[in-house]
Structure 1
């Protein structure tokens, strides 16, 4: 983790800058002996560009927070590798839910010269208007929260039961609840068919099992569809191909 240059007199710069910005500001200076020490303050920096990049990449060693009477805050630190420049970034307002920040563009910070008088002019002309606009948008979002998104519509679950020619009934459930309802009412899982099957040896018992399974499925909001397989002509009733004409036999001598 690279170390910044130590030529920045940040404490003095931040104090003079606070007195030159429009409005009433006060400055508080902090030193950090370790890389991790800069994050409890820097975590509120409202920036996705120059300032946040420096915070993530460098051991900054120190920073200052400028606070306006209305609670607005600016983060100030030396720009690593540029002894004649400082970085100034907005800090996110406190007291808002995360949803209030949705759709609000971060008022990214800026590099300013080491002259606090010129820096104050640049900040007042560029960063502060964008900062105040972003805060106003957050406040508006907080005062007018979006209605919760409607849950996506979902097709109701159905179990398709298919009758086969030998009287067997096969059903393919799509949920554990449906599978349990079938099993509870006599359907047996057949791995070859990859379905729950119900024998048709006793049609009365079969009909009773279908009605009971349907009622149990309905209690879970699951519908039942009864289908017959596509009709196929029986082997004995298949059309017979027309007979071919018999060619006369040629005799040879």
Structure 2
């Protein structure tokens, strides 16, 4: 009689089979537990992304609404420079305001791009990646826009002589600032379109403080400021004092200071 047919052999095989079955069940349960764990992580990631995207969507809508103020302010500066070039002298010019300072955050998205993103659906991953490409464009062109406005602030002061070369430089800066403004607005509009077209979740509560802010609070939508007694002004003058007057709290982050 063969060994495996004996009572002793049968007992051994039953014991081995039990061990093997236990291992298989354990592995299966482990795989299920791992999958459940990743589903929970994906859910949490989507919830955190919705908060981040809500703030971004609000900022994008705010910028879209303020577009006409930006362009009108550049038109006014163009007239000032043209008249100064003809007369050879800049008139007294007050502060024209500053571009909206926004963070265009992507910290949550950066943190998700590790292991968690690999468990997103392919559609969600592609669509979110596309949306954040426009967030990157918004951040990059907003920074460049602020640099150009720093150049334009050289005309802010009590009045002085100007030559044709400086006037030409200012015209180029105005054109470049207009281009950056157009690019920022375009990116803001496209971002909103992508988020809505592909049903990417975002927090309306996070978006609301920015999206519904009165345009009277946008610097370029307000009149020019008072003429300073000397030259050397810059965008965001006094931003530190305004930030201290409107602190960020745990209960209400509020709008970032300009």
State the TM-score bracket (shorter-chain normalisation).
Answer: under 0.3
Q: TM-score, normalised by structure 1?
A: 0.26
The structure that is strand-richer by fraction is: 1
Q: TM-score, normalised by structure 2?
A: 0.25
| Largest Rg, 1 or 2 | 1
Kindly indicate whether structure 1 or structure 2 has the higher relative contact order, using CA contacts under 8 Å at least 6 residues apart. Answer: 2
